[in-house]
Amino acid sequence: MPEQPPGPQAVASPEATRDEAAVNSLRSATMRLSRRLRHQRVDESLSPTEMSVLGTLARCGSATPSALARKEHVQPPSMTRIVATLEAKGLVRLEPHPEDRRQKVVVQTERTESMLAASRTKRNAWLAELTGQLDDEEWAKLREAAPVLEKLAHL
């Protein structure tokens, strides 16, 4: 009979337990920090999902609603509602698709660019204030960890 892989009841080695604790701590800390950062926004009338869509448009450029839905991991009907809300607020506009006249492309407006810049400035200032409470050694460790966290975010 082939050997079964260890299940959740298997006894972990001390190293695996230590790694599990570190992974759990990293997950918990990044989630809490991310949640706190999300609350540091300029336009409180926008949901986190709407802000995420605007951020995706800023990073990736114009996209069809279905492409945005895939990038944001939401269903196309949900993205249609999100785009309609953002369009009503003057943050995006729909333009004809350059190759397929049946489709539309979602484009951010200048208002979006300035709102996102103001939001980044507010979040950066908030984070700078927090990091100002770290000692020199903690700040050095955090600066060293930033590229690794960036890599994790894009894997």
Tell me the pLDDT tens digit for each residue of 47-66: 888 989 999 999 999 999 99
Contact 42, 92 (CB under 8 A): no
Domain count across the chain? 1
Report yes or no on 120 lying in a domain: no
Contact 153, 55 (CB under 8 A): no
Does position 8 have pLDDT exceeding 80, yes or no?
Answer: no
What CATH number is associated with residue 63?
1.10.10.10
Report yes or no on 25 lying in a domain: no
Report yes or no on 14 lying in a domain: no
Report yes or no on 129 lying in a domain: no
Write down the pLDDT at residue 11: 55
Report yes or no on 100 lying in a domain: yes
Write down the pLDDT at residue 3: 52
Question: In 3D, which of 96, 90, 97, 68 has the Cα closest to residue 80?
Answer: 68
- The chain-wide mean pLDDT, for the chain, equals 87
pTM of the model: 0.70
d(CA 15, CA 27): 18
Percent of the chain past pLDDT 70, that is, above it, reads 88
Higher confidence at residue 83 or residue 12? 83
Report yes or no on 138 lying in a domain: no
Does position 92 have pLDDT exceeding 80, yes or no?
Answer: yes
Residue 58 CB-half CA count within 13 A: 17
List the domain range (segments joined by +) for residue 52.
48-113
Burial class, 80, CB count within 10 angstroms (exposed 0-12 / middle 13-18 / buried 19+): middle
Give residue-wise pLDDT tens across range 94-141.
999 888 888 899 999 999 999 999 999 999 999 999 999 999 999 999
Report yes or no on 88 lying in a domain: yes
Stretch 59-86: mean pLDDT: 94
Does position 79 have pLDDT exceeding 80, yes or no?
Answer: yes
Report yes or no on 99 lying in a domain: yes
